[in-house]
Amino acid sequence: MADVKKLYIKTYGCQMNVYDSERMAEAMAGAGYVETQDPTEADMILLNTCHIREKAAEKVYSELGRLRGLKVEKPDLKIGVAGCVAQAEGEEIMRRQPLVDLVVGPQSYHRLPEMEARLREGGKAIDTDFPTEDKFDTLRHRPKSARGPTAFLTVQEGCDKFCAFCVVPYTRGAEVSRPPERVLEEARDLVERGVREITLLGQNVNAYHGAGLGEDWSLARLIWALNDIEGLARIRFTTSHPKDMSDDLIAAHGECPKLMPYLHLPVQSGSNRILKRMNRGHTAEDYLRLIERIRAARPDILLSGDFIVGFPEETEADFQDTLDLIATVGYGTAYSFKYSTRPGTPAAERIQIPEEVKSERLLRLQALISNQQRAAQEAMVGRKVSVLFEKPGRLSGQIVGKSDYLHAVHVTSPTLKPGDLAQVEVLSSGANSLSGRIFAA
């Protein structure tokens, strides 16, 4: 077909961007575009960007620099910037980077086809509105089969928490939940197309409150409804805020068969003084009590978290409180970051911690986390876990999947294929994964 055009999307940042990139590809399928993995053959390149830390935002500008050559070779190539950098700095990008033809914020993806039409007429297009219509309602060009046995499904977007360090409330806007019937419809559709595990996404996913059938649905209620979908084997959700960890959600972790024993629950710091300055709305003790209740409901749950070191005014004693909290909780894994100044956020105006202090604290924190991670992985050796296989491994005959606890697990098997769920006996623990053998298929 002569008029099939090719779209290359490069995705940065969080899982919600991964989800959004898929939806953008579907929106553009309606405008005659097929996706390519090769930027050199693309008619349009979209960078789906992240603004969370300075480094994330800088990547966009260096990528645009690299794309200049392609655009010189192929003047018809259209280059677009989507995502959180587009929302935060879209107009500036347009001004500073003449090669950018299109800027689209996270709430306007459904308008991409009309924007593309404007480009074909020789113009440029920018849309960083927060429209009231549901962008997902208009995105209906779904491929016949899903991309694999696992999928993300956005149920909630935006954030009203305004942590003092964070850009998300500005780039994603106010908290909005999708109606439960839409979510369930999309989940059934995914399962029909071969998906066996769904991860519900939201910047504050546990604050979900969808209006359905005249009632207010909590995330727990939504999870129980998903639990009834035949063919769906596993449910996960991310990311949660400690303040929204409701009783029914904690109970679901103990009772809902398809809800997996893994919870990502960021705390950011173990110091009450810093938590207050971060505007987190909870203390370290609140968090520890919450962890106790979650473990009472589901003793084997694997916990993960996010930590920021070197937040303005963080002293060595504050940092020590964070290490103590980590030691008390015992994480299966965790993400940690040096505080990065974000223009426009309250903490950007405060007295900053020197870079070398941040680096040194990060090293100490990461050493503690990696010991905990190693211990958690080694505790799996000899146990039987269920694994959902996703893709071939690096070695021939190997296949890789995820356990209930989200550990990567390798198995050598000539018969297993992506989408299979099997019982695996864990034989050993490596740097970032486990290996095992099939116990019973």
DSSP per residue, 218-255: EHHHHHHHHHTSTT--EEEEE---GGG--HHHHHHHHH
239 within 8 A of 264, measured Cβ to Cβ: yes
**Residues paired with 212 in a beta bridge:** 215
Q: Which of 51, 71, 110, 338 binds ligand F3S (CB under 6 A)?
A: 51
Q: Which contacts (CB < 8 Å, 24+ apart) does range 374-382 have? A: 374/429, 375/330, 376/302, 376/330, 376/331, 376/332, 376/333, 377/407, 377/429, 377/434, 378/429, 380/405, 380/407, 380/426, 380/429, 380/434, 381/426, 381/427, 381/428, 381/429, 381/434, 382/425, 382/426
Task: Give the rounded distance of the alpha carbon of 27 from its chain centre.
Answer: 21
CB nearer ligand F3S, residue 268 or residue 372: 268
* Least distance to ligand SAH, CB of residue 100, Å: 25
For β-strands 102-104 and 209-212, DSSP reports them as unpaired
Scanning 46-54, 254-262, 409-417, 431-439 for contacts with ligand F3S by CB under 6 A, the matching segment is 46-54
Listed in sequence order, the residues at least 6 apart from 431 whose beta carbon sits closer than 8 Å to its beta carbon are none
CB nearer ligand SAH, residue 80 or residue 173: 173
Listed in sequence order, the residues at least 6 apart from 383 whose beta carbon sits closer than 8 Å to its beta carbon are 425, 426
Q: Which of 322, 340, 372, 429 binds ligand SAH (CB under 6 A)?
A: 340
Compute the residue count for the chain. Answer: 441
Backbone torsions φ then ψ of 398, nearest 5 degrees: -90, 145
What does 162 bind: ligand F3S, ligand SF4, ligand SAH, none (CB cut-off 5 to 8 Å by kind)? ligand SF4
CB nearer ligand SAH, residue 192 or residue 349: 349
Q: Which of 199, 203, 372, 435 binds ligand SAH (CB under 6 A)?
A: 203
In a 10 Å sphere around its CB, with 0-12 CB exposed, 13-18 middle and 19+ buried, how is residue 296 labelled? exposed
Residue 84 is a binding residue for ligand F3S (CB under 6 A): yes
Residue 48 is a binding residue for ligand SAH (CB under 6 A): no
* Least distance to ligand F3S, CB of residue 35, Å: 20
* Least distance to ligand F3S, CB of residue 11, Å: 9
- Could you give the residue ranges of the DSSP H alpha helices within 112-261? 112-120, 168-171, 180-192, 219-227, 247-255
Backbone torsions φ then ψ of 372, nearest 5 degrees: -65, -40
CA dist., res. 151 & res. 170, Å (int): 27
Build a one-symbol-per-residue string for 246-285: x at contacts with ligand SAH by CB under 6 A, - elsewhere: --------------------x-x-----------------
Build a one-symbol-per-residue string for 160-179: x at contacts with ligand SAH by CB under 6 A, - elsewhere: -----xx-x-----------
* Least distance to ligand SAH, CB of residue 143, Å: 29
* Least distance to ligand SAH, CB of residue 375, Å: 23
Compute CA distances 314 → 167, 273, 309, 360, whole Å. 20, 9, 8, 13
CB nearer ligand F3S, residue 16 or residue 153: 16
* Least distance to ligand SF4, CB of residue 412, Å: 40
Build a one-symbol-per-residue string for 143-182: x at contacts with ligand F3S by CB under 6 A, - elsewhere: ------------------------xx--xx----------
What does 13 bind: ligand F3S, ligand SF4, ligand SAH, none (CB cut-off 5 to 8 Å by kind)? ligand F3S
What does 169 bind: ligand F3S, ligand SAH, ligand SF4, none (CB cut-off 5 to 8 Å by kind)? ligand SF4
* Least distance to ligand SAH, CB of residue 30, Å: 30
* Least distance to ligand SF4, CB of residue 206, Å: 11
Q: Point out which residues bind ligand F3S (CB under 6 A).
A: 13-14, 16-17, 50-52, 83-84, 167-168, 171-172
